[in-house]
A and B are shown apart, each in its own frame.
Chain A
Amino acid sequence: MERELTDSISRSSARPVPGDARLRPPCEAACPIHTDAQRYIQLVAENRPADALAVVRETNPLPQVIGRICAHPCEEACRRGGVDEAIAICNLKRVASDGAKAAGMGYEPPQAGLTTGTKVAIIGSGPSALGAAHDLALMGVASVIFEKQPEAGGFLRTGILNYRLPKEILDEDIDYIRRMGVEIRTGAGVGENVKFEDLAEEYDAVLIAVGLSESRSLPIPGVEMPEVLLAVPFLEAVNAGREVPGLGKEIIVIGGGNVAIDVARSAKRVSGGKVTMVCLEADHEMPAHDWEVADARDEGVEIVCSQGPSAIVGAGKVEGLQVKKCESVFDERGRFAPTFCETELSVIPGDTVIISIGQMSNLSFLPENGPAVNERGILIFDREQCTTTRRGVFASGEVVTGPGAAVNALASGKRAAIAVARYLGVDVNFSHEPVAIAGVPAGVAEKVKKAPRRKMPARDAGERLKDFGEVETGLGVVDGRCEASRCLLCGGGARYSQTKCIACLTCVRVCPYGAPWADKDGLGGIDPDKCQACGICFTQCPAKAIDLTVLSEEDIAVRTVAALKDSGGGEVEFGCWYSQSRVAPGAGFVSLPCTSRVSVWLLLNAFEQGAQKVFVSVCSEDDDGHFVHGHRQTRAAVTDAQTALEEAGIDPATIELRMEPELKCKKAGQ
């Protein structure tokens, strides 16, 4: 049974942030599919992985896949990067799906009801196609995916190796989409055993999402030799577990992108020999992600930078790659325009060359009457409407966007789904682009409690080379919650009502971070870039003009009632989800981001709701805890509430403040 989602941590409606409803955490703004990462991270921190996965699924049709292989632009944008290190957002997505799976929750798809009576043919089954099919199903539009390979997944299956993305994980994500009512026909190659024209006739719309399925080669002498391979067929063969003919023991991989890294790492596993990557770019310019390069180096892949291939040498069979020094890769306008020193030549010895310098699409299936391609053979495409030159034929993914991360292809597919659905008469709009909250100002960053980013555990390099088993093993619950608790809850803090504000300046005076402000006329605001969501202003505002965006007073009151119901015995504990500790294990638990947001009213309200005993926890003896002056406010609230109870003739000891160190501190032996 899915747990009922009751409060602002769980609700799916987009939360407003003071000033501008589009103002959102930068992770969400940077994410191509605008996943509300903050919300699922907080749910991971609360140890509610199934709810977290549900949040991921709101925007992400491939949560397990993307939780493993995402290029995570969210982490580059993460405001925590301005404090110490960015949150490991991608890894936390995996914590959510792993945790939900362990609990047997979150893998039953909604029965969308394909109510529109329309049907779309989707050519290709990569992330863009799957994303489109998934979202179309949610909008009540049926679709059939046509995949020429024996199994669905596109490049996710043929191009990404098991050690990064286990096949069973991909299968599960695809199966979820299939169980939503999406039909997937494999072994159905459009242009081979299926005619494009038949699809155009039989279906209400066609979506071309064929990706870039063919490797580019190089026009250099020697490429015709049998030991010269291309990246895509090589990866396909390895992925399918087939023998790769021509593969030797001293392999040279040409290219410096992420696919080249995958080629090199798989070649290392398949051959057990020496693998050298050769790329035009200098080390810092390599298009592959830093972490991918580091993984490859860990596994013994040698990388030769700033060298351009000029010929594959050998008498009858490959003996090496002749390279020339590459002096620069990009021109002054940043365009790809490599220049070489033609006299500085050398030969890298090797018996196999795999060319991995880029991919292109195969559009040979398109009929004469369109959709049209331009003079370079690229599909003519309207980025806004996702349309081609032929009515009813749409396109998405790398075939139109060019190479990029899987999540970008997914985003393109989701956008195409909206375009197709609108074309089919479904009332749906493209959503507004969110705007990111500004970075953490230096004066605030220095006040934020530092915490190191949790490293993803991985199998030992020597061990993992022996097979194609998954390299990364997952953060697990404790480390996952620790990592999630580093999230700054951007935009989740104070929101104030201008109508109720009496301009008393209390918030301005009590905020440890300088977020609230007021001008001479008493007009003011609370800067979302400075606010840390500690809740102190909320507890102190005399006019109740301030509430909290994530877990409002009402939400906490609702949680209080639920906790009392859970406990059965009238005991409730207000505790911090960051600390992972409980001071009264038998009591119902009101989980909060630090007890600094517990107001006197919330404590009295617990008694009004039937509590006989209330525990409030802090995780250290000091004034601060997770937030500056956080514990000072917790203690003040407890003292004031005890006084109020005593005045009302109730034993003040029925509220008890207890200290319990954070579990992660205990774990670290502090």
Chain B
Amino acid sequence: MITAERKKFEEIRRMTDGAGNLLVVGCNTCVAVSLTGGEKEAGLLASQLRLARRKDGIGGSVETVTVLRQCENEYLDSISEQVEKADMVISTACSIGPQGLVFRYPTKAVVPAMNTNMMGYVKEHHVWTEYCVACGFCIIAFTGGICPIARCAKTLLNGPCGGSQGGRCEISPDVPCAWQEIYDRLAALGQLDTLKRILGPKKWNASSSGGPRTMRLEGFKP
């Protein structure tokens, strides 16, 4: 799940300086599931903005609407009426949301209310951990199903490093050493031999350093 955390209110409020009517657009998929940008949170942000603007004597309305996914044209089209009435749109989606809104509504001011942080696994209620950085070429078949790119602080392919102490990473005692986990897991599976295999250099050409990636599928097209 993509997780995003809401920016500090003051930062959001400053972005809206000078704007009259505001529209807070929630996103009811990833950021709703990760409890920060769904319909409820969009409503709270709108309420908070109304209170702050009233206190500061700023006019203009603050409305709110939530779509199922801000990363799809059709859903963004469905709120065109509300968007047209607003002077500025505030998105509580991951950064795809506001960019999608910009693409769909090129003349409209759009600002993000969120800092997008990761693709996470829900360890427990209210706790997410990064398990994937979308490097474009998955190698976890060789690492016991544990990704060293996402979970090792140094992105090592041949860990652990000297900073691994008692199974923890030197960056924080709260962070487990991914390579220790890989080793323990392969040992448990009786597959430590896997670590002796010589692998070629990891393909990085599908990662994010080569400009924006596009995925296209073949097959039926409408």
Supposing A509-B125, A649-B56 touch, asked if A544 and B43 sit within 8 A by C-beta, the answer is: yes
Are B43 and A648 in contact, with the CB atoms below 8 A?
Answer: no
Contacts of B33 in A (CB 8 A): 502, 504, 542
- A505 and B49 CA atoms in complex are apart in Å by 29
* B78: min CB distance to chain A, Å: 14
Segment 3-49 of B: residues with Cβ below 8 Å from A: 8-10, 28-29, 32-33, 35, 38-41, 43-44, 47-49
List chain A residues, Cβ under 8 A from B9: 644, 647-648
Q: A647-B8, A649-B55 are in contact. List 17 more A-B contacts (CB 8 A).
A: A502-B28, A502-B68, A504-B33, A542-B32, A542-B40, A543-B32, A543-B38, A604-B44, A607-B51, A608-B51, A644-B44, A644-B48, A647-B10, A647-B48, A647-B52, A649-B52, A650-B52
B28 contact set on A, CB distance < 8 A: 500, 502, 542-543
- Does A561 count as interface, using CB distance less than 8 angstroms? no
Chain A positions within 8 Å of B50 at CB level: 608
Given contacts A542-B33, A543-B28, contact A604 B10 (CB under 8 A): no
CA distance A601 to B43 in the complex (A): 7
A648 close to B38 (CB less than 8 A): no
Q: How large is the interface on B (under 10, 10 to 19, 20 to 34, 35 or more residues)?
A: 20 to 34
Top 4 closest A-B pairs, CB basis? Answer: A647-B9, A542-B38, A648-B52, A504-B33
- Chain B residues near A509 (CB-CB < 8 A): 125
Inter-subunit contact B125/A600 (CB<8 Å): no
Chain B, Cβ-Cβ closest to A542: B38
Of the A-B pairs whose beta carbons lie under 8 Å apart in the complex, a sample of 28, sorted by A's number, is A500-B28, A500-B39, A502-B29, A502-B38, A509-B125, A541-B40, A542-B35, A542-B38, A542-B41, A543-B28, A543-B32, A543-B39, A543-B40, A543-B66, A544-B39, A544-B40, A601-B43, A604-B47, A604-B51, A608-B51, A644-B44, A644-B48, A645-B51, A647-B48, A648-B9, A648-B49, A649-B52, A650-B55
Greatest chain B CB density within 10 A among A504, A608, A648 is at A648
Q: For A504, give its contact among B10, B32, B55, B66 (CB under 8 Å).
A: B32
Is A115 part of the contact surface with B, judged by Cβ < 8 Å?
A: no
CA distance A608 to B35 in the complex (A): 23
B43 closest partner in A (C-beta): A601
Q: Give A544 to B51 CA distance when docked, in angstroms.
A: 21
Q: Quick check: is A567 within 8 A (CB to CB) of the other chain? A: no
Mark A599-611 against chain B: 1 for CB-CB distance below 8 A, else 0. 0110011011000
Residue of B nearest to A544 (CB): B39
Closest residue of chain A to B33, judged by CB? A504
CA distance A175 to B54 in the complex (A): 57
Residue ID in chain B nearest A503 by CB atoms? B33
- Choose one: A504, A510, A543, A650; the contact of B51 (CB below 8 Å): A650
Give A490-509 interface residues, CB cut-off 8 Å to B. Answer: 500, 502, 504, 506, 509
* Closest partner residue, chain A, to B8 (CB atom): A647
Closest chain B CB from A20 CB (angstroms): 27
Nearest residue (CB) in A for B124 is A509
Q: How far is the CA of A649 from the CA of B41 in the complex (A)?
A: 19
Binary CB contact string for chain B from 78 to 99 against chain A (1 if under 8 A, 0 otherwise): 0000000000000000000000
Q: Are B55 and A600 in contact (CB under 8 A)?
A: no
Looking at the complex, which one of A502, A605, A647 makes contact with B32 (CB distance below 8 Å)?
A502
CB-based A-B contact count at 8 angstroms: 70
The complex places the Cα of A600 from the Cα of B51 at a distance, in Å, of 14
- Nearest-CB distance from A424 to chain B (Å)? 51
For A, the interface residue count at a CB cutoff of 8 angstroms equals: 22
CB interface residues, A 467-505, toward B, < 8 Å: 500, 502, 504
CB contact list, B120-134 vs A, under 8 A:
125
Of all chain B residues, the one with the shortest Cβ separation from A648 is: B52
Asked if B48 and A510 make an inter-chain contact with CB atoms under 8 angstroms apart, the answer reads no
Chain B residue numbers with a CB within 8 Å of A502 are: 28-29, 32-33, 38, 68
A510 and B68 alpha carbons, distance in the complex (Å): 23
- Best-surrounded residue of A541, A542, A601 (most CB of chain B within 10 A): A542
Instruction: Write out the residue numbers on chain A whose beta carbons fall within 8 Å of the beta carbon of B48.
Output: 604, 644, 647-648
The closest CB in chain A to the CB of B9 belongs to A647
Please indicate the chain A residues that have their CB under 8 angstroms from the CB of B51 in the complex: 604, 607-608, 645, 648, 650
Contact B44 A601 (CB under 8 A): yes
- List B contacts of A601 (CB < 8 A): 40, 43-44, 47
Mark each residue of chain A from 77 to 94: 1 if its CB lies under 8 Å from any CB of chain B, else 0. Answer: 000000000000000000
Give bound CA distance, A134 to B124, whole Å. Answer: 59
- B31 nearest in chain A by CB position: A542
A607: nearest residue on chain B (CB-CB)? B51
Complex Cα–Cα for A510 and B125 (A): 8
Which chain A residues (644-670) contact chain B, with CB distance < 8 Å?
A: 644-645, 647-650
CB nearest neighbor in B for A599: B40
CA distance A74 to B73 in the complex (A): 55
Q: Would you list which residues of chain A between 531 and 547 have a CB under 8 Å from chain B?
A: 541-544
User: CA separation between A541 and B43, bound complex, in Å?
Assistant: 12
Minimum CB–CB distance from B150 to chain A (whole Å) comes to: 23
**Binary contact readout A444-471 vs B (1 if CB under 8 angstroms, 0 otherwise):** 0000000000000000000000000000
* B39 cross-chain contacts in A, Cβ below 8 A: 500, 542-544
User: Measured between alpha carbons, how far is A604 from B39 in the docked complex, in Å?
Assistant: 15
Does A600 contact B44, Cβ atoms closer than 8 Å?
Answer: yes
Q: Which residues of A contact B125 (CB under 8 A)?
A: 506, 509-510
Closest approach, in angstroms, between the C-beta of A323 and any C-beta of chain B? 70
Nearest B-chain residue to A509, judged by Cβ = B125
- Nearest CB in chain A: distance from B221 CB, A: 28
Give chain B residues whose Cβ lies under 8 Å from the Cβ of A650: 51-52, 55
What residues of A have a CB within 8 angstroms of the CB of B44 in the complex? 600-601, 604, 644
Query: Quick one: which of A500, A541, A543, A648 contacts B55, CB cutoff 8 A?
Result: A648
Are the CB atoms of A605 and B55 closer together than 8 Å? no
B123 to chain A, nearest CB (A): 12
Chain A contacts for B29, CB-based, 8 A = 502
Q: Closest CB-CB distance, A523 to chain B, in whole Å? A: 16
Bound complex: CA of A260 vs CA of B147, how far in Å? Answer: 82
Task: Give A84 Cβ to nearest chain B Cβ, in Å.
Answer: 31
Which residues of chain A come closer than 8 Å to B66, judged between CB atoms?
Answer: 543
How far is B68's CA from A576's CA once the two chains are assembled, in angstroms? Answer: 35
A648 contacts across to B, CB distance below 8 A: 9, 48-49, 51-52, 55
Encoded as 1 (CB less than 8 Å from any A CB) or 0, chain B from 198 to 209 comes to 000000000000
